[in-house]
Structure 1
Amino acid sequence: MKNLDLNVLRAFFVVARERSFTRAAAQLGVSQSALSHSMRGLEERIGLRLLTRTTRGVSPTEAGERLLSNVGPYYDGISAELESLSALREKPAGLIRISAHDHASDTVLWPKLKDVLRSYPDVSVEININYGMVDIVAERFDAGVRNGDLIAQDMIAVRISPDFKMAVVGSPEYLRSNGRPVSPHDLAAHNCINLRLPTHGGLYAWEFARKREALHVNVHGQFIFNTTSQMLDAAIEGFGLAYVPYDLATPHLAEGRLSSVLEEWCPTVPGYHLYYASRRQTSPAFALIVDALRYVSPASSR
């Protein structure tokens, strides 16, 4: 059918979905009489009745339902693409709020975003350090960062780091005085530096795996912290063993300030992912941040 006015078609979809000329007219910003006239014109053009009008409201006929079901999604897709193209004309600006662990912030967010923000002075990023399972929608965050296995299935997730290995570390002085554990079960006899999780106020159970055996060990010690960097500092000072990402401990291992134990038991965990609630994210600033953080494996970049 030639020269069909897409605005009239859009008006039909709104009326059919709202099942009300009053609500549809308010949404479209037109009068009810003008909208009713447009719908009659569309029906005459197609040669079929598309809407059943009663004193209670309006509903699609069989032909109207078919048009809504089969053509409506295509129209929605076209509209979404046109919106995304128009966003390209906009200059990235505004505040992007992200909830993340301190390790993710230090090793991924800060290194990748500092140069981006120099190039886009109108974009601001707020990073909120939190180990809890934050409801990013309720807390009004644009996105969160967590390990890939901890993200709800209804969220969109973008990988921003490779998988990484965990480590149990302690100072050489502590290990000389207290011995080196050879099994996770030996940790019961050691002073371990704990991490408090805000969710339910619990302490993080250290995770271990070897071959087909997996263990979660509840440890005890003098210090409990709520960030990884504090745990690492306490381990360097000789207050006990800490369970931290291996890359965080690497420079201290190289300088002899820390030693690693239980290496064969320490697992590799899924890398960090940026997650958010909707694919219809129209902010150019948010798209800029997602692209800047997206992880590209060395193999795929060659």
Structure 2
Amino acid sequence: MDLTLLRTFVMVHRAGSFTRAAALLGLSQPAVTSQIRSLERQLGRPLFLRQARGVTPTTVGDELAHRAAPHLDALVEITESGLDERTGVRTLHVAGPPEFVSARVLPALTPLVVRGLAVRSSLLGSTEEILDGLAAGHHDLAVATARPRGGLFTATPLCDEEHVLVAAPRWAARLSPGVLPRSGAVVLEQLPVVEVHESLPFVARYWAAVFESKPAAAATVIAPDLRAVRDSAVSGAGLAVLPRYLCEEELASGRLVALLDPPVPPLRTYFLVIRTGTLALPHLARAHERLLSAAGDW
């Protein structure tokens, strides 16, 4: 059986789409379609059911993918290991939220950069945009705040971030002691809000988790970067909900004050996402392992 046909088949199986597989393989869609039909003729069985949006594997297709994919991945690993040794330098394309990539991912990859890894980063605010770019082959590895579905991706929990309700000391001083646990949502809605978007994604998540309600206030300042939100809050523009790692120094120095200490603080999980099978690439495997190891201290 032709290994090229098997490679195309496995990519279609993982991508769930002839179009997406073609983009990842660097082929035209008709070429991918032709290769799959050729393989189906050789086997005498259909491998995919065509649907309006993408394809679904048949039971025969699932069985073939389960048997063939590990061997193809092993061949890629053998081939790429030799290439890695000969060229010395490989480039890793990373995508994720701007603040997290800047504060966590890039510093964690520095030891690999010192050893010869080149890194190109894409700072993207939307999980959908991040995963679309990974699916299209624009990125090798991504950090996302939602676990993707489907066989194209393999996602590993990376770390949890704690969200903290903060404000500058002058706003905190206006709140009576003990008032927030009793009627926090109502009181806080009298203060200005700094957020990354009009929909108040961080504040709304915090309100739902802590107060079991939706925020009634609108944002006073919108800045589509959590670092700008933090700096606006430090300047006294209003309250904000921030990841603790992003405001630890400001809390320690007193430039920001945590307004509430809930028994169970709201958390958000980050996932380390790759295209299934690409851990066979040594430089990607090393980066993946390095980030998981570094996340133990986050």
Tell me the TM-score normalized by structure 2: 0.65
* Candidates 81, 85, 90, aligned match of 2:74: 81
| Structure 1 pair 218–285 and aligned structure 2 pair: CA distance change class (3 A) | farther
| Structure 1 pair 296–216 and aligned structure 2 pair: CA distance change class (3 A) | farther
Identity %: 14
Q: Secondary structure at the match of 1:167?
A: strand
- Aligned residue for 1:243? 241
Alpha-carbon offset, residue 225 of structure 1:
0.6
Counterpart amino acid of residue 82 in structure 1? L
- Aligned residue for 2:169? 172
- Aligned residue for 1:140? 138
- Aligned residue for 2:258? 260
- Aligned residue for 1:189? 190
Whichever structure has more helix as a proportion of its residues is: 2
1:102-121 matches, within 5 Å, as 102-121=98-117
Alpha-carbon offset, residue 170 of structure 1:
0.8
Tell me the distance in 1 between the aligned counterparts of 2:200 and 2:235: 22
Tell me the distance in 2 between the aligned counterparts of 1:12 and 1:143: 26
Counterpart amino acid of residue 133 in structure 1? E
Question: What per-residue deviation string (whole Å, max 9, x for no partner) do you get for residues 48-84 of structure 1?
Answer: xxxxxxxxx966579xxxx999889645543432332
Tell me the distance in 2 between the aligned counterparts of 1:73 and 1:175: 57
- Does the 8 Å CA contact 1:93/1:285 hold for their aligned counterparts? no
Alpha-carbon offset, residue 190 of structure 1:
0.8
* Candidates 273, 277, 284, aligned match of 2:282: 284
Q: CA RMSD in A?
A: 3.8
Counterpart amino acid of residue 285 in structure 1? H
Counterpart amino acid of residue 76 in structure 2? E
Tell me the distance in 1 between the aligned counterparts of 2:106 and 2:65: 43
Question: What per-residue deviation string (whole Å, max 9, x for no partner) do you get for residues 18-54 of structure 1?
Answer: 9xxxxxxxxxxxxxxxxxxxxxxxxxxxxxxxxxxxx
Larger-gyration structure (1/2): 1
Counterpart amino acid of residue 97 in structure 1? H
Q: Which runs of no fewer than 5 residues in structure 1 stay unpaired? A: 1-9, 19-56
Q: Which runs of no fewer than 5 residues in structure 2 stay unpaired? A: 10-39, 46-59
- Aligned residue for 2:125? 130
* Candidates 207, 222, 225, aligned match of 2:223: 225
Counterpart amino acid of residue 169 in structure 1? V
Counterpart amino acid of residue 86 in structure 1? T
Alpha-carbon offset, residue 260 of structure 1:
0.7
- Does the 8 Å CA contact 2:148/2:155 hold for their aligned counterparts? no
Tell me the distance in 1 between the aligned counterparts of 2:63 and 2:219: 63
| Structure 1 pair 84–186 and aligned structure 2 pair: CA distance change class (3 A) | same
- Does the 8 Å CA contact 1:160/1:295 hold for their aligned counterparts? no
- Does the 8 Å CA contact 1:160/1:271 hold for their aligned counterparts? yes
Counterpart amino acid of residue 189 in structure 1? Q
Counterpart amino acid of residue 173 in structure 2? R
- Does the 8 Å CA contact 1:167/1:266 hold for their aligned counterparts? no
Counterpart amino acid of residue 108 in structure 1? R
Q: Secondary structure at the match of 1:89?
A: helix
Matched, 1:151 2:152: no
| Structure 1 pair 286–229 and aligned structure 2 pair: CA distance change class (3 A) | same
